[in-house]
Chains A and B, each alone.
Chain A
Amino acid sequence: MNAFRENLFRDLTPEIEKTSRSWYFLFAGFLAIFLLGLYGLYHQIDKGHIVTGMRDNVVWGVYIVNFIFFMGLSYAGALVSGALHLFKTPWRAPVIRLAELITVISLAIGPFFIFFCIGRLERIPYLLIFPRIQSPIVWDVIAILTDIFGCVIFLYVSFIEDFAKLRDREDLQVAPWKKKMYKILAMGYQGTEKQHRLLSFSRNVMAAMIIAIAIIVYSVLAWIFGVTLQPGWHSTIFGPYFVIAAIFSGVGLLIVLMAIFRKIYNLEKYITLKHFVNMGIVLFVIAAFFGYFTFSDYLTKWYGSVKMDKILIDKLFTEFRTYFIFANYIGILTPIIIIAIPRLRTIRNITIAALIALLALWVNRYIIIVPTLETPFLPIQDIRHDWRFYSPTWVEWSLTAAGVAVFGMLFMIISKLAPIISISEMEEAEERENLKLKEQVK
Chain B
Amino acid sequence: MSKSYRYSALLILVLCWSAGSLSAFGIQETKISPYMLFSYLKNSDSQQVLQVKMTNITQTGEVPLPGLSIKFFNGENLLGEATTDVTGSANYTIDSTVELLVGEDGTWPFSATFDGDTLVDATYSDLSITDVNLEMTLSEEEGKRSVTLRATMPTADGVIPVAGDEVGVYVPRMFSLLPVATGVLDENGTIQIEFPDDIPGDSLGNLTVIGRFNEHYLYGNVEKREVRVWGTPVVKAPPVYRSLWSTLAPKWMVVTLAIMLMGVWSQYMLVIINLIRIKWDGLKKEKK
Contact = CB atoms under 8 A, between A and B. Distances in A.
Contacts of B119: 383-384
Contacts of B280: 188
Contacts of B243: 134
Contacts of A192: 281-282, 285
A415 interface: no
Interface residues of B, number: 60
Interface in A191-225: 192, 194-195, 198-199, 201-202, 205-206, 209, 212-213, 216
B275 interface: yes
Interface stretch (B24-32, B195-203, B220-228): B24-32
A356 B15 CA distance: 7
Interface string B16-46: 0010011011110110100000000000000
Interface in A94-136: 132-134
B65 interface: yes
Contacts of B60: 308, 311, 375-376, 379
A314 B278 CA distance: 60
B253 interface: yes
Majority SS at the chain B contact face: helix
Interface in A139-187: 139, 142, 146, 149-150, 153, 157, 160, 186-187
Contact of A385 (B18, B29, B277, B285): B29
B285 A190 contact: yes
B29 A146 contact: no
B281 A209 contact: no
Interface in B232-288: 243-244, 247, 249-250, 253-254, 257, 260-261, 264-265, 267-268, 270-272, 274-275, 277-283, 285-286
B264 A199 contact: no
A188 B278 contact: yes
Interface string B39-66: 0000000000000000010111111111
B27 A386 contact: yes
A348 B4 CA distance: 9
Contact of B32 (A311, A383, A392): A383
B4 A157 contact: no
B16 to A, nearest CB: 11
A134 B61 contact: no
A363 B22 contact: yes
B56 A356 contact: no
A323 interface: yes
Interface residues of A, number: 63
A22 B1 CA distance: 31
B29 A187 contact: no
Majority SS at the chain A contact face: helix
A383 B118 CA distance: 12
B281 A153 contact: no
Given A188-B281, A349-B8, A202 B268 contact: no
Interface in A363-403: 363, 375-376, 379-381, 383-386, 388-389, 391-392
A28 to B, nearest CB: 26
B25 A188 contact: no
Contacts of A139: 257
Contact of B24 (A134, A150, A322, A348): A322
A134 B248 CA distance: 8
Contacts of B32: 383, 385
A261 interface: no
A134 B272 contact: no
Contacts of B277: 194, 198
Contacts of A352: 8, 11-12, 15
B174 interface: no
A232 B261 CA distance: 31
Contacts of B267: 205-206, 209
A189 interface: yes
A343 interface: yes
B66 A379 contact: no
A344 B11 CA distance: 12
Given A379-B61, A389-B27, A146 B265 contact: yes
A388 to B, nearest CB: 8
Q: Which 9 A-B pairs have the closest CB atoms?
A: A188-B282, A133-B249, A322-B21, A326-B18, A134-B249, A202-B271, A202-B274, A198-B274, A379-B63
19 contacts: A134-B243, A157-B271, A188-B278, A188-B283, A189-B282, A198-B274, A198-B278, A209-B267, A213-B264, A322-B18, A323-B21, A352-B12, A379-B58, A379-B61, A379-B63, A381-B66, A384-B119, A386-B29, A389-B27
Interface of A: 132-134, 139, 142, 146, 149-150, 153, 157, 160, 186-190, 192, 194-195, 198-199, 201-202, 205-206, 209, 212-213, 216, 308, 311, 314-315, 322-323, 325-326, 330, 334, 338, 343-344, 346, 348-349, 352-353, 356, 359, 363, 375-376, 379-381, 383-386, 388-389, 391-392
Given A160-B275, A322-B21, 20 more contacts: A133-B249, A134-B244, A134-B253, A157-B275, A187-B282, A188-B278, A192-B282, A194-B281, A199-B274, A202-B275, A209-B268, A323-B21, A330-B14, A348-B4, A376-B60, A379-B60, A381-B86, A383-B32, A383-B119, A386-B27
